[in-house]
């Protein structure tokens, strides 16, 4: 055994969230203080490990989404032919593009923090940490509506996601709120053992990186969280050592083909190794899981 029961227990604990809360409040204050966003309806929320309660550190970067809801991006792939026609007939074009939103968010952040702390990146703006905050990636996005029902009168049902248009590359759609909701349901179904298990696997992977067994980019936390979410509930037992061994062993015997065919992303909308925006590789994942299993 390369790892110990004491490690397994400590690994289950969540990292501090104090800095993330302060960072989120700071970014929201910057946006609310700006006249740039007057007339635009938007929502600000966290995504990623802090939002999902699976962070293992208290000083890692924070992902903050600025989602415009006064203009949204529709998707009609789940509608039938008649519903698609009704949508086309009743759709009202948006008034603000994601490019315009990005410009307004950038000006708001630079006015509040100063240009030296704000860096423009492909999908977001990086706000450098301050005395009481951590680095933040602020992501401008449109609300994405994956329509599941549409009527002639324009009444509709949809799944809410976010639509990100990078400066370079194709549009990215993901569903952070659905991912978070599914994680909460999984945690409840496993008597509160799902999120601690995710944190355990993330820390096990960090140990593998520290020992030079894996590269720093071989298995991002999002990928590990999604794979753990596919493990059947009965493996999430109370004992920390028994739990991490059961979960990693279950995953490690899955072949790349099986991983590709069965693994869902956390949102249960994308297939993890098929159409997830992260473009994950099932062969790399299988190698990572084998390394993690051998560490136990």
User: From the centroid of its chain, how far is CA 159?
Assistant: 16
- Cα separations in angstroms, 219 against 33, 236, 262, 287: 38, 21, 18, 10
CA distances from 254 to 6, 26, 230, 251, 291 (A): 28, 43, 12, 6, 13
pLDDT in tens, 162-219: 999 999 999 999 999 999 999 999 999 999 999 999 999 999 999 999 999 999 999 9
**Nearest of 255, 203, 240, 209 to residue 224 by alpha carbon:** 203
Residue 140: its pLDDT value, please?
97
Share of the chain above pLDDT 70, in %: 100
Q: Give the tokens for residue 83.
A: 């519903």
Q: Per residue in 82-127, pLDDT tens?
A: 999 999 888 888 778 889 999 999 999 999 999 999 999 999 999 9
pLDDT for position 59: 83
pLDDT of residue 203: 97
Residue 154: its pLDDT value, please?
A: 80
Q: What is the pTM of this model?
A: 0.94
pLDDT for 98 equals 87
Tens of pLDDT, residue by residue over 62-84, are: 999 999 999 999 999 999 999 99
Q: In CATH terms, is domain 18-173 a member of 3.30.460?
A: yes
Residue 207 pLDDT: 96
Angle formed by the axes of helices 194-210 and 240-252, nearest 10°:
70
Q: Give 119's strand partners.
A: 126
Which pair of structure tokens corresponds to residue 231? 């493990």
pLDDT digits (tens, 9 = 90+) for 219-278: 999 999 999 999 999 999 999 999 999 999 999 999 999 999 999 999 999 999 999 999
Q: Which residue pairs, CB below 8 angstroms and at least 24 apart, start in 42-49? A: 42/66, 42/67, 42/68, 42/69, 42/70, 42/101, 43/67, 43/69, 43/143, 45/176, 45/177, 46/20, 47/139, 47/176, 47/179, 47/180, 48/176, 48/222, 49/221, 49/225
Using the predicted structure, report yes or no on whether residue 144 has a pLDDT greater than 90: yes
Domain ranges of the chain: 18-173, 179-295
Q: Considering all CA atoms of the chain, what is the largest pairwise distance in Å, rounded to the nearest integer?
A: 64
Residues 6 or more apart whose CB falls under 8 angstroms from that of 39 comprise none
Average the pLDDT over 40-47 and give the result.
Answer: 95
Q: State the pLDDT confidence band at 2, using cuts at 50, 70 and 90.
A: confident
- pLDDT for the residue 58: 84
The predicted structure's pLDDT at residue 1: 57
- Measured CA to CA, the distance from residue 95 to residue 7 in angstroms comes to 53
């Amino acid at each position: 055994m390369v790892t110990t029961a004491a490690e397994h227990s400590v690994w289950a604990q969540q990292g501090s969230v104090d800095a993330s809360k302060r960072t989120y409040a700071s970014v929201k204050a910057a946006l609310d203080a700006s006249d740039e966003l007057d007339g635009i309806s938007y929502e600000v929320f966290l995504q990623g490990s802090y939002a999902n309660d699976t962070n293992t550190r208290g000083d890692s970067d924070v992902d903050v989404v600025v989602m415009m809801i006064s203009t949204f991006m529709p998707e009609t792939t789940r509608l039938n032919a008649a519903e698609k026609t009704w949508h086309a007939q009743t759709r009202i074009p948006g008034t603000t593009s994601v490019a315009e939103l990005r410009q307004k968010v950038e000006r708001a952040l630079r006015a509040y923090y100063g240009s030296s702390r704000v860096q423009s990146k492909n999908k977001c703006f990086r706000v450098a940490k301050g005395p009481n905050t951590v680095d933040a990636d602020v992501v401008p996005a449109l609300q994405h509506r994956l329509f599941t029902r549409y009527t002639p009168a324009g009444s509709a049902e949809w799944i809410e996601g976010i639509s990100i248009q990078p400066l370079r590359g194709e549009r990215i759609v993901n569903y952070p709120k659905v991912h978070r909701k599914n994680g909460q349901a999984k945690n409840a179904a496993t008597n509160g053992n799902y999120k601690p298990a995710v944190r355990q696997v993330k820390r096990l992977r960090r140990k593998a990186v520290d020992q030079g067994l894996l590269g720093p980019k071989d298995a991002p936390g999002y990928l590990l969280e999604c794979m753990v979410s596919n493990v059947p509930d009965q493996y999430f037992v109370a004992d920390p050592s028994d739990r991490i061994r059961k979960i990693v062993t279950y995953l490690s015997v899955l072949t790349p083909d099986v991983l590709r065919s069965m693994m869902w992303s956390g949102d249960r909308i994308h297939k993890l190794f098929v159409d997830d925006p992260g473009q994950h590789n099932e062969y790399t994942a299988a190698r990572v899981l084998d390394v993690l299993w051998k560490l136990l």
